Amino acid sequence: MTTQATRSPRRRTVVALAVVLAVLIAFIVRLVDIQVVNADDHIADSMDRAFGSSQPLYGSRGSIVDSEGETLAGSILLYDCQLDPLLITQIDEDIVAGESTARSWDEVSADAAAIVELPVDDVRAIVTDALTENAESRFAYLKQSVTTEQFRDLADLAVPYIACLQHPARSYPDGAVAGNLVGFIGTDGPLEGLELSQNDCLTPTDGTRTFSQGKDGVVIPGTEREISAVDGGTLQLTIDRDLQWYLQQLIGEQVIDMRAQSGAIMVTEVATGKIRAAAEYPTVDPNDVTATDSEDRASRIFRSWFEPGSTFKGLTAAIVMDAGGQTPASTVTASGQETFANGASVRDSFQHETFNYTLTGALIDSSNVGISKFSETVSAETRYDYLKDFGIGEGSAVGFPGEQSGLVRPAADWDNQTLYNTAFGQGLTTTMPELAGAYGAIANDGVRMPLSLVESCTAADGTVSTPELPDPVQIVSEETATQTQAILENVAMQALYADDVEVPGYRIAVKTGTGEKSENGVYKLDAYYTTMIGFAPADDPEYLVVVTLDEPQKVKSSAANATAFQKAMTQVLKTFRVMPSTSTPEELPKFG
């Protein structure tokens, strides 16, 4: 029989064992939580707390390449090399005490100075100044942005107090070629061009390296953790690098020869709307931005607007044929200067007797009076709607930074003079991309293709993305477009500058424009913006070329553009191996 005296100690023992068991179970549960359930989180937390040093791991900014994959902008590795002043003094003290056989700082600094191309006294002063400011200093820059060769030579010194961290830098191997398009990068990031607008594609994701160091600055084995960097994507453009180079040389020569303020050549592919070249002068070399005046560091092609002048007669001709029942052989009588019923006065650039112009002839002679009379066959509202459909005043789909749009006021705002002036490219403005898109629609059987400058972005993991573009739009009928092509071909055949724009073996279509320049709302005296635009082969258009000059002085009419246009078109046809024409053009009459 168990007595009260024996039961009490046993109960206490059971309770004690139960308490011990509960505590043990709690420890086991906690241990499982730490080492199994939440092991990764606890390890990460402990590692973060344990590691005393970290370094950024820089990803490389993505490359910008042309349509064939040739590099226009890329990244190279440079290194920021730093010193540990305190460790230098500690090692020197050990040398003096006979506890180290390492080379002294005096010896190493002489070698380091020669490698980084600095005076040896300046290198030694880096350490002295750092220790004067802080006797425990562990950091001072030896030199930033050293080359890979210099980095390797410094590493060969095999001293623990020199460390170099790599970082990417931008390189433009072809200098100014496409500099106006590619843009450039400053210390705070991208500043211009595609470097800026396509930054999301090009920007890398940086990683980190964390570690612990011993007293001597050596990384403790097993303490390193690394989150890898991810490089930026590759941006492929639609332009052809070699063609871009040639056209930049060409427009530079033409600007200088014609004593113009600036000039540009733009080439588009008719069937796709892809921009194959966009050359300008002056332009910028992204490797040496400060060598270029600030106003020349951006793209005038996308940021400048102008009165198009007589190039608009090609659009007016298409409109009156599509909506006004006219044909290339339709006629009007036109003298050198006329006053219309509403009081508006229009004159041609040359005086002549009254001619019975065909629509074709009005464009061959570039008659303001003639095209004004043809414009009366459709309403102002209809012409306005067609111009907007052609893309005038609408900008482009390119999305270039700072891109401008032309300005076409609503037809309700046109006064008596503007009613006629808009027919021959005055009283409104446009841009090179807008004009190229409009003429591209004529060349493309009436279908306006959205212009594009970017082909694709290929991310580091191989994912390819392409820009979203508007759908193609049928502006005029295929018949109207074909008739307009024939008119523009006859301009190239019969205009006074026909011999200057001829490309042997090919049928060419062309139109010129001499737009007046305004300043503070008033036209400048004897100052013009000249344009020549055309496509080839005229019987099956493949490429369109636009040449502009801002205030040429040697020749002030659009004839100033003829040499550059002819050479540019010749090179385009050669570059893209376009077969010569095999058919014979039909010569249309100038007069009825």
The per-residue DSSP string of 412-450 comes to GG--HHHHHHGGGT-S-BB-HHHHHHHHHHHHTTTEEPP
Which tokens is 191 given? Answer: 């500043």
CA angle 307, 308, 310 (to 5 degrees): 130
Cα(345)–Cα(417) distance, rounded to whole angstroms? 7
Find out whether 240 and 67 touch, Cβ atoms under 8 Å.
Answer: yes
91 backbone dihedrals φ, ψ, rounded to 5°: -65, -40
Which tokens is 185 given? Answer: 């990068």
Cα(6)–Cα(435) distance, rounded to whole angstroms? 110
Cα(198)–Cα(236) distance, rounded to whole angstroms? 11
What contacts 33, CB < 8 A, 6 or more positions away? none
Which tokens is 228 given? Answer: 């890898």
Catalogue the E-assigned strands of 258-383: 262-269, 275-281, 331-334, 337-339, 345-347, 355-358
Which tokens is 86 given? Answer: 């305190």
Residue ranges in 495-576 assigned as alpha helix (H): 498-501, 562-575
What contacts 457, CB < 8 A, 6 or more positions away? 62, 198, 201, 233, 234, 235, 236, 464, 465, 466
Q: Return the SS3 of 53.
A: strand
Cα(319)–Cα(17) distance, rounded to whole angstroms? 102
Q: Of 317, 341, 355, whose CA–CA distance to 480 is shortest?
A: 317
Find out whether 275 and 451 touch, Cβ atoms under 8 Å.
Answer: yes
> For the chain, which ranges sit under pLDDT 50?
47-51
Find out whether 250 and 237 touch, Cβ atoms under 8 Å.
Answer: no
DSSP label at residue 19: H
Q: Of 318, 315, 335, whose CA–CA distance to 326 is shortest?
A: 318
Residue ranges in 198-304 assigned as alpha helix (H): 199-202, 241-257, 300-303
Cα(558)–Cα(544) distance, rounded to whole angstroms? 17
Q: What is the pTM of this model?
A: 0.82
What contacts 53, CB < 8 A, 6 or more positions away? 210, 211, 212, 213
Find out whether 328 and 360 touch, Cβ atoms under 8 Å.
Answer: yes
Query: Cβ atoms within 10 A of the Cβ of 404, count?
Result: 17
Find out whether 313 and 488 touch, Cβ atoms under 8 Å.
Answer: no
Provide the b/e sequence for 439-468 (b: ≥16 CB within 10 Å).
Answer: bbbbbbbbbbbbbbbbbebbebeeeeeeee
What pLDDT, on the 0 to 100 scale, is given for residue 415? 97
Cα(547)–Cα(514) distance, rounded to whole angstroms? 12
Cα(458)–Cα(574) distance, rounded to whole angstroms? 30
Cα(162)–Cα(88) distance, rounded to whole angstroms? 9
Query: Cβ atoms within 10 A of the Cβ of 545, count?
Result: 30
Find out whether 115 and 150 touch, Cβ atoms under 8 Å.
Answer: yes
Q: Return the SS3 of 87.
A: helix
What pLDDT, on the 0 to 100 scale, is given for residue 49? 45
What pLDDT, on the 0 to 100 scale, is given for residue 13? 72
Find out whether 582 and 538 touch, Cβ atoms under 8 Å.
Answer: no
* DSSP conformation letters of 364-400: HTT-HHHHHHHHTTS-HHHHHHHHHHTTTTS--SS--
- Tens of pLDDT, residues 334-373: 999 999 999 999 999 999 999 999 999 999 999 999 999 9
What pLDDT, on the 0 to 100 scale, is given for residue 15? 66
Q: Of 345, 428, 346, 334, whose CA–CA distance to 387 is shortest?
A: 428
- Tens of pLDDT, residues 387-404: 999 999 999 989 999 999
423 backbone dihedrals φ, ψ, rounded to 5°: -70, -25
Cα(237)–Cα(260) distance, rounded to whole angstroms? 29
DSSP label at residue 462: S
Query: Cβ atoms within 10 A of the Cβ of 6, count?
Result: 10
Query: Cβ atoms within 10 A of the Cβ of 170, count?
Result: 18
